[in-house]
Structure 1
């Protein structure tokens, strides 16, 4: 028993690392590498996590789904998506306000 303690102490003194469980490899001489920490970038793409609820109008739903494209773009790319969606929604509303065309010809 005392031989194993002295052997462990001798290994520690020569390698600079404490002995681990049997069969386990000792960490590299410089210690374990630190995991890479990504710097915070406020302009990086980040999903907003806003749930989109179907409206029942296919044209409006398609435009609202287009907003999901902004989740994968950096902040400076959001404006193009928002303007496109706004333009499409405005066109859809304008079409709803337009007078419907007569479905038949008046023949007297």
Structure 2
């Protein structure tokens, strides 16, 4: 008896194995010629997805006027984000935030001439 291991034959991938059932793979036919099934499969793969979650999409949120022109202008600026991909929103949001902060700061400013400084400890 011999302890030799029988050599296993490596199958040729170009020759179909009769032990494996046909999995519905279309016959390629003549090399270089695509069958109808192959053409349909390629067409399905080439179709772009209808919905891309990262694509720009308007939120369609109504913007109600506040009565303050500066604030209303900043709220309208938010609409610019509707036409940008999500990675572009941060720039618009930061710009609007700066504008709203400036508008609120301006509301704190007193109109007219500044008030006289308070006097402490003065006696008349």
For this pair of structures, how many residues does the alignment match? 75
Structure of larger gyration radius = 2
Kindly state the Cα deviation for residue 37 of structure 1 after the two structures are TM-superposed.
5.4
Q: Deviations over 1:36-86 (max 9, x none)?
A: 553432211011110001111111111100000000100000000000001
Superposed CA RMSD in Å reads: 2.8
1:100 maps to 2:111? yes
2:62 is the counterpart of 1:55 = no
Q: Does 1:83 align with 2:94?
A: yes
1:87 is paired with a residue whose SS is helix
- TM-score normalised according to structure 1 size: 0.58
The structure that is helix-richer by fraction is: 1
Pairing 1:33-52 to 2, within 5 Å after superposition: 38-52=49-63
TM-score (norm 2): 0.51
User: Unpaired segments of 5 or more residues in structure 1?
Assistant: 1-29, 104-108
Matched, 1:64 2:64: no
